[in-house]
Amino acid sequence: MSTKETRELLTVCRDLAFGAGEILRKGFDHSKKIDYKGRIDPVTEYDRKAEKYIVSRIEKKFPSHEVLAEEGSETGQHSSWRWVIDPLDGTVNFMHGFPIYCVSIAVEFESKVVAGAVYDPERDEMFSAGLGLGATLNRTRLAVTGEKRLQRALLATGFAYDIGSAKRNNLGLFARMAKKAQGIRRPGSAALDLCWLASGRIDGFWELKLHPWDTAAAALAVTEAGGKLSRIDGRPWSIYDKDLLASNGHLHRSMIDVLSGSSDR
């Protein structure tokens, strides 16, 4: 892929994320029709409206491209190109009127994410990244922090919807890390957590049971801002792996040690 092609895709990602974000922003203060995909896993009509907006425009502009989206708007054809879409990351926050949610759109080419955008409608913040082009927030270049001490680090994490029934539920890891880090936050949107890492607002992040649409765009922002990604045990990570550890790079080894329990030995 040429730099020009990457920039063009990045522009499309930003435009689509902004348009879908406007749908969410206008619906935020309105009553919402809510369905449930599981015990505590909600979906609103705005998830579906935003997804329809994004997918319909991709299908028109790139009819041969594959689509993978959270609310089921998948295309049957196989392509070297795949759009990975979360029309509303932070649905629980959105339905309660808690103003932390976003739209996430990424493009894969031959199984590598090459462009992505995450838009936060409440703060009008557009995070975006292109492979080899860096990461930006509203066109300002991003860089991760230089913090090297876990005891001075602010981290973020999250919990899967099956927290009430699953044996592997992140609670033990949270308790372990809470004893070592300066602080841990749980905003409720993995995509924004990762973008805030890329922008230097936090120093590290981990979570279990993620999906490709949660991480595809924002993870690219992390690496393009100088951060590091792996599975929580340090193995190589892809957007199709369920667990993710992300950091500014300096803290990566110490976070692995805490999450594995080796720092307690």
Domains and CATH numbers, the chain: 3-141 (3.30.540.10), 150-264 (3.40.190.80)
Which pLDDT score, from 0 to 100, does residue 234 have?
96
Q: Which residues contact 205 (CB under 8 A, 6 or more apart)?
A: 155, 156, 157, 190, 193, 194, 197, 244, 245, 246, 247
Choose the weakest-confidence range: 70-74, 92-96, 259-263: 70-74
pLDDT tens string 64-73: 999 999 877 6
Q: Smallest Cα–Cα separation from 157: which of 34, 25, 258, 28?
A: 258
DSSP characters for 228-251?
EEE-TTS----TTSS-EEEE-STT
Pair 119, 19: CB distance under 8 Å: no
Which pLDDT score, from 0 to 100, does residue 73 have?
63
pLDDT tens string 3-55: 999 999 999 999 999 999 999 999 998 777 777 765 656 788 898 999 999 99
Residue 265 has pLDDT above 60, yes or no: no
CA angle (116 as vertex; 110, 122 as ends), nearest 5? 155
Q: How many CB atoms lie under 10 A from the CB of residue 231?
A: 16
Q: Give mean pLDDT, residues 93-102.
A: 95
Tell me, yes or no, if the pTM score tops 0.85: yes
Residue 133 structure tokens: 């082009």
